[in-house]
């Protein structure tokens, strides 16, 4: 792969909206990605393997629980810092950002928000350092966009719960130490349970042959009469709103992350357009390629503004789930379209692993589907503005 020459576009001088602390955090994450992710990520994506050696570095830049209070090992940062870290990590690779998102927003967040003090103290510090890796089991083979129909269930056996069912498409599942699993009790109410690797009847087969997110491990969670200790139930919230509340936090991070992938594609295409000579002039001097670049930087700038504002609203506790949906949907689609155009701008070179674009493009095909598909987020916006849910 070519050396990482990334220069972040900031067309509207949005750095002026960041504090010195934001910039320090962002720049540290950016430098780490250049040093530790860019040189190795293509090789790991090609061999479809998550680079486990970067886990401790991810923890050091605040990639695990950036906004979780420091008393539990988190970095205690605000929502803009969290977003900037996600942006920089996904600039390197969406699969690495996935690992960070799942650990932070889908494992640490529910334990922090819905768990008790013993659960927080037992799991959060180890998750923050990466000593322990977690995954989040909501999706099932027959229930993706409609998780309320889930059939994974648990029964109260007196001194423990008995868990049965299966989850599919679970990031980090093949090597996770714990899984936050969403399952129905005998009354059909959804609860979160912490399932630990090694519990009898719990297996995590890996999903192979993905063309997307190849540097992130995906798998199933199978529960065959798993005895889960009663103290592993998250006591402080139940119902579908509990897992969906975690998704709000993860989707917000993805909205920032997608900007990172888009910036990397734009920056690569811009540089290439100045160097690649055809018909005796740089391709960047042609109107057609300038149109692509001009539209890319316009869309990146709009997404940066939208997402910064969303971060301010999150910091003030005023962001709605529907606002988060809009940003996730807009930014991921924006990044995917930029990746496709950037790929074309590099001609044949665009399909090779010499450049990051094709990897970003394929990764974004998952990002546009997971954490709520492009269509589901549109329906969430539609419901928000009309008051009519059109899902069913």
171 lies in the site for ligand FAD, by CB under 6 A: yes
Q: How far is the CB of 362 from ligand FAD (least distance, A)?
A: 11
Question: Quick one: which of 144, 282, 353, 382 contacts ligand FAD (CB under 6 A)?
Answer: 144
**b/e burial code for range 295-323 (CB count within 10 A of at least 16 → b):** ebbebbbebbebbbebbebbeeeebebeb
User: Strand, coil or helix: what is 171?
Assistant: strand
Which residues are registered as beta bridge partners of 223? 165, 202
138 lies in the site for ligand FAD, by CB under 6 A: yes
192 lies in the site for ligand FAD, by CB under 6 A: no
Question: Quick one: which of 98, 103, 273, 333 contacts ligand TGC (CB under 6 A)?
Answer: 98
140 lies in the site for ligand TGC, by CB under 6 A: no
The catalytic residues are: 371
DSSP letters spanning 68-81: S-GGGTS----HHH
145 lies in the site for ligand TGC, by CB under 6 A: yes
Binding partner at 380 among ligand FAD, ligand TGC, none, C-beta below 5 to 8 Å by kind: ligand TGC
Question: Quick one: which of 9, 92, 137, 165 contacts ligand FAD (CB under 6 A)?
Answer: 137
Q: Which residue has the tokens 């496709």?
A: 340
CA dihedral (98, 113, 76, 175) in degrees, to 10, reads: -30
From 107-115, 135-143, 153-161, 320-328, span contacting ligand FAD (CB under 6 A):
135-143
139 lies in the site for ligand FAD, by CB under 6 A: yes
Question: CA-CA distance, 314 to 310, in Å (whole number)?
Answer: 6
Q: How far is the CB of 221 from ligand TGC (least distance, A)?
A: 12
83 lies in the site for ligand TGC, by CB under 6 A: no
User: Strand, coil or helix: what is 355?
Assistant: coil
Is 358:349 a contact under the CB 8 Å cutoff? no
363 lies in the site for ligand FAD, by CB under 6 A: no
Is 156:123 a contact under the CB 8 Å cutoff? no
Binding partner at 218 among ligand TGC, ligand FAD, none, C-beta below 5 to 8 Å by kind: ligand FAD
376 lies in the site for ligand FAD, by CB under 6 A: yes
Binding partner at 321 among ligand TGC, ligand FAD, none, C-beta below 5 to 8 Å by kind: ligand TGC
Sequence-separated (6 or more) residues with CB below 8 Å from residue 166: 140, 141, 152, 220, 221, 222, 223
50 lies in the site for ligand FAD, by CB under 6 A: no
CA 307 to chain centre: 15
Closest-CA residue to 111 (of 245, 217, 286): 245
Separation in Å, CA 168 to CA 109, 165, 199, 378: 21, 10, 19, 24
248 lies in the site for ligand TGC, by CB under 6 A: yes
77 lies in the site for ligand TGC, by CB under 6 A: no
Question: CA-CA distance, 352 to 375, in Å (whole number)?
Answer: 30
Q: State which residue has the least CB distance to ligand FAD.
A: 144
Question: Which residues contact ligand TGC (rule: CB under 6 A)?
Answer: 98, 101-102, 136, 138-139, 145-148, 171, 239-241, 244-245, 247-248, 250, 321, 370-372, 376, 380, 389, 391
Question: Which residues contact ligand FAD (rule: CB under 6 A)?
Answer: 102, 135-139, 144-145, 169-171, 213, 218, 366, 369-371, 373, 375-376, 391
């Amino acid at each position: 792969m070519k050396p990482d020459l990334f220069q972040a576009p900031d067309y509207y001088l949005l750095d002026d909206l960041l504090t010195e602390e934001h910039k320090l955090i962002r720049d540290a994450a950016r430098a780490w990605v250049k040093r530790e992710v860019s040189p190795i990520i293509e090789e790991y994506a090609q061999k479809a393997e998550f680079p486990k050696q970067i886990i401790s570095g991810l923890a050091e830049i605040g990639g695990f629980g950036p906004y979780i209070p420091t008393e539990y090992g988190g970095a205690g940062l605000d929502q803009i810092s969290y977003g900037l870290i996600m942006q920089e990590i996904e600039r390197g690779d969406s699969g690495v950002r996935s690992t960070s998102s799942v650990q932070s927003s889908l494992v640490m967040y529910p334990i922090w928000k819905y768990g008790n003090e013993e659960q927080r103290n037992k799991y959060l510090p180890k998750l923050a350092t990466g000593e322990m890796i977690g995954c989040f089991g909501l999706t099932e083979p027959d229930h993706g966009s409609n998780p309320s129909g889930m059939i994974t269930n648990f029964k109260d056996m007196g001194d423990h719960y008995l868990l049965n069912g299966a989850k599919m498409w679970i990031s980090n599942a093949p090597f996770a130490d714990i899984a936050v699993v969403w399952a129905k009790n005998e009354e059909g109410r959804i609860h979160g349970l912490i399932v630990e690797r090694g519990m009898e009847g719990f297996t995590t087969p890996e999903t192979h042959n993905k063309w997307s997110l190849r540097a992130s491990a995906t798998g199933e969670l199978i529960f065959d009469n798993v005895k889960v200790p009663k103290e592993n139930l998250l006591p402080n919230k139940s119902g579908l709103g509990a897992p969906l509340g975690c998704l709000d936090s993860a989707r917000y991070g993805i909205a920032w992350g997608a900007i990172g992938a888009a910036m990397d594609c734009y920056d690569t295409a811009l540089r290439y357009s100045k160097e690649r000579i055809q018909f005796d002039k740089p391709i960047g001097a042609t109107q057609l390629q300038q149109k692509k670049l001009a539209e890319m930087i316009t869309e990146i700038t709009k997404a940066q503004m939208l997402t910064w504002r969303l971060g301010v609203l999150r910091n003030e506790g005023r962001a709605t789930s529907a606002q988060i949906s809009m940003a996730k949907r807009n930014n991921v689609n924006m990044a995917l379209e930029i990746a496709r155009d950037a790929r074309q701008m590099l001609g044949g070179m665009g399909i090779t692993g010499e450049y990051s674009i094709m990897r970003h493009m394929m990764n974004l095909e998952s990002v546009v589907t997971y954490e709520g598909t492009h269509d589901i987020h549109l329906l969430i916006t539609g419901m928000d503005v009309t008051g009519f849910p059109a899902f069913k």
